[in-house]
Each structure stands twice: as structure tokens, then as C-alpha cells.
Amino acid sequence: MNEKNSSLSDWLRYIESIHPISIDLNLDRVRIITSLIGIKIDGIVFTVGGTNGKGSTCSFLEKILLESGYTVGLYTSPHIVSFNERFKINGINVSDNDIIDSLDFIDKVRGNISLTYFEFTTLAAIYLFSIKKLEVLIFEVGMGGRLDAVNIIDSDCSIVTNIGLDHVEWLGESRELIGLEKSHIYRKNKPAICGDISPPISLLDYVDKIEADFILVDRDFKYSTNDNNTWSYCSKYYEFDKLPYPKMLGKYQLLNVSMALTAIGSVKDRLNISYENISNGILNSFLPCRFQIIRNNPTIILDVAHNAHAANSLVANLADNNGFSKTHVVIGMLKDKNILEVVKILDSYVDYWYCCSTFGARGLSSDLLFNIIKDNLESANVICCPNVIDAFNTALQNSDQNDRILVFGSFLTVSDIYQLYLR
């Protein structure tokens, strides 16, 4: 792209257009570009993969390390409002100009090599973090692991948060196949953390094959709640009796913090982290739209849950925060998700469904979503709306002060409502 004075949005449209398909899992192209750039990373690298909980785990890692005085680069996806959310240096979104400069550099290096949107942005993040000479880098895997662009970097410690059925079109239709794909972010003789209490045999076999230092939840690290509104963590690296609860709601956040603590502990010979750093990092860590209550009377909840595994966690949160007269659910999902399984998981907690469309190549119309729910859930009260704002306003009009409104199903779905209230 040679146009001068191009904006970041111009660049994003450009990199979205240059590859024939949006998802093309293959490390060959990224490997060539990386070798041409000659990237050298001296800092500690954490890679975080899994079906759900990746973003929260990355956030805990980032905040604890920042509290400890380290310079930190964080690359995540997708974003809620602004693309810049994907690139953070020392806890701050990277500026448009810095992202544009990095994209421009990758564009010049790639020549005629076609890159997907995610490959392009991942390479730009790696390049940007490397020239900033940061002390710690944290990369969130976009999809799978084995062929994800993030996997071009050898990490000092890798985390697989859990293994659920998602992206089956690309990763496989069983936990065994998906687990094998995700396990490839692990490295030989390096800490390989797993937060799934029952990991697939394929993942365990791969760990044995590459002789990784496997660290499993409930076996090698544990956490438990206390009576005094604190919780405890124990591993061979650290033992804490009174840690503060995270701001993010949900019992599963304790698992996410525990994985972050285990990751930091696994490289503690290269880090200086105190209990105070850890406590402050936990308290300061927050990601929007993770069962986030943005208003009361009626209570409005935003959650980016978009697969069956996340839906089960969402139901647990709904059960823990019950006592409402009625529950109104605004739902918009992408067409490649297991929509029927997700809505069946939530069905017993829902009084009214408000279907909205999602847009783009993977978008699903509200009409089709309406039909899936109406045809498969007995006596479901379902309303079809053209977009999430209309769906939300309709739910708001139908709600009393003692009701709750849940907006969920996709990052795209919660984004507009998040901006409406909190931007």
C-alpha cells in the first residue's frame, strides 16, 4: 500500500483485502516473512492458547508484571471497540501511527507474499514489540495453536487454558483433534501449563513426545476459596493464603489468575515478583464484557461468550447472580458457531430471547437465528430484531426494574451496547 497519509482504518481495509480467504491456517508465509525481518526477541515470552479464558489470563499476566516494574507488550484478539486494543505496550493501547508504521514495514518486506489479516497484524505486533526491546511479551493465540501465526515465536512458557468445541471447521470436530492443535504451542523442555482438569490424550501424548515440563491444574497447582472473602493458591513456585478476588466476576477467574501465577512462577528465576505486586496486579486487572454489569434497575450484563464451553460458565454466573423477576437475553452469533447447543445451555434461565443480526463474512441474520431458537426450544418467547441496538431497546422497553438483560453471543454483539453505556 503506497498511498501517503493513509489512516489506520484504510490500512485495515487494505490488509483485509489482499488474501483470498480470511482464515487460512498455515505458518509457511509467516515463517518466510519472519526470516526476512530477522526478528530478535530478548525478553521473556508467554503464549496463551485455549478455547476460553485466554484474554483474562493475559490480562492478569500483564498487570502483575507491570506492577512489578517490567516493560510489557501484550497482543490479543479480537477487540471490543478499537483495533488498537489488540496492541498494548505497558498497559496502554498503541497509537495509530505506531501500528501504521509497523504494518507499512511488514507490507514492504512481504513483497508478493500474500498474508491473511491476522497474519499481517501478528507480524506487525511481533516487529513492533521487538524494536521496542520490551522485557516481557505476551501473545494470545487467535485460533488453535499449531498453525496460528502467533506460534511462529518460541515462548518461554505456554498456557492452554482449556479445550472445548469451537472453530471445528478448522480445528476438528472432537476434543482430541482440537487438543492436539492447541498443544503445539508447547515447547521442548519449557513450562507447559494446562488449566483443563481433564485434558485430551492427544495433548498429553504431545507433551510427552516433546518432553515439555507439563504443569496441570489440580495436580501441580491448586486454588481454593476462603471464608474471609479471599482465596488461596498453592504450587511448587508460590503459596499464598490470602489473595484478593479479581474485579471480573465469575469463579473461573480464579483459575485464570492461578494459571497466570503459575506461568510467572515457572520463570521466577528471571523475574522479581512480590506478594504486593501480585495482589495489586489482580486488583487492577479488568477486561470489559466478561460478565460485566454496566447498569442496575434493570440489571444489564455484557458477556462475550460465544461457544458451548463459555455458555456453561455464563450459566454458572447467572445462577450465582440469580433472584431477578425475568431474564431478557439479547443474542447475536456468528454462523460458524454451534448456536443450537449454546441456546439450549442457557434456555432454562431465559424468559425472552431478542435475536439480532451479526454482519460480515461470518455474520448470521436475525431471521435465521430466530428460526433456530423457535424451532428447537419449546415455548420459547422469541423476538426478531434487525440489529443489536433495536434488540436491546426492545428488551429495555419490556423490562421492569427487577429484571435483568443479558447481551451476549459475539464480540460484535456486545460492542455496540458497551459503547452506548461506557465509551
Note the pLDDT of residue 361.
80
Cβ neighbours, 10 Å, residue 285: 25
Q: What are the b/e assignments for 91-110, b being 16+ CB within 10 Å?
A: eebbeeebbbebbebbbeeb
Note the pLDDT of residue 4.
59
Each residue's pLDDT, cut to its tens digit, for the chain (423 residues) gives 755 578 999 999 999 988 877 777 789 999 999 999 988 898 999 999 999 999 999 999 999 999 999 999 999 999 999 999 999 999 999 999 999 999 999 999 999 999 999 999 999 999 999 999 999 999 999 988 899 999 999 999 999 999 987 777 768 889 999 999 999 999 999 999 999 999 999 999 999 999 999 999 999 999 999 988 999 999 999 999 999 999 998 889 999 999 999 999 999 999 999 999 999 999 999 999 999 999 999 999 999 999 999 999 999 999 988 889 999 999 999 998 899 999 999 999 999 999 999 988 889 999 999 999 999 998 789 999 999 999 999 999 999 999 999 999 999 999 999 999 875
How far, in Å, CA of 182 to CA of 221, rounded? 20
Burial class (CB in 10 A: 0-12, 13-18, 19+), 209: exposed
208 Cβ partners below 8 Å, 6+ apart?
none
How far, in Å, CA of 7 to CA of 17, rounded? 16
| Domain locations in the chain as residue ranges | 8-284, 292-422
361 Cβ partners below 8 Å, 6+ apart?
22
pTM tops 0.85? yes
How far, in Å, CA of 221 to CA of 304, rounded? 28
Eight-state DSSP code of residue 154: P
**Are the beta carbons of 241 and 216 closer than 8 angstroms?**
no
β-strands 44-49, 352-355: how paired? Answer: unpaired
**Residue from 93, 100, 52 nearest 75 by CA:** 93
Cβ neighbours, 10 Å, residue 335: 13
211 Cβ partners below 8 Å, 6+ apart?
188, 189
β-strands 292-295, 299-303: how paired? Answer: antiparallel
β-strands 44-49, 327-331: how paired? Answer: unpaired
Alpha helices in 111-251 (DSSP H): 117-132, 168-171, 175-183, 201-210
Cβ neighbours, 10 Å, residue 319: 10
**Are the beta carbons of 241 and 222 closer than 8 angstroms?**
no
Q: Which CATH architecture has domain 8-284?
A: 3-Layer(aba) Sandwich (3.40)
Residue 246: is the preceding peptide bond cis (ω within 30°)?
A: no
Hey, what's the cell of 395?
Answer: 428488551
Note the pLDDT of residue 23.
74
Q: Is 3.90.190.20 the CATH classification of the domain at 292-422?
A: yes
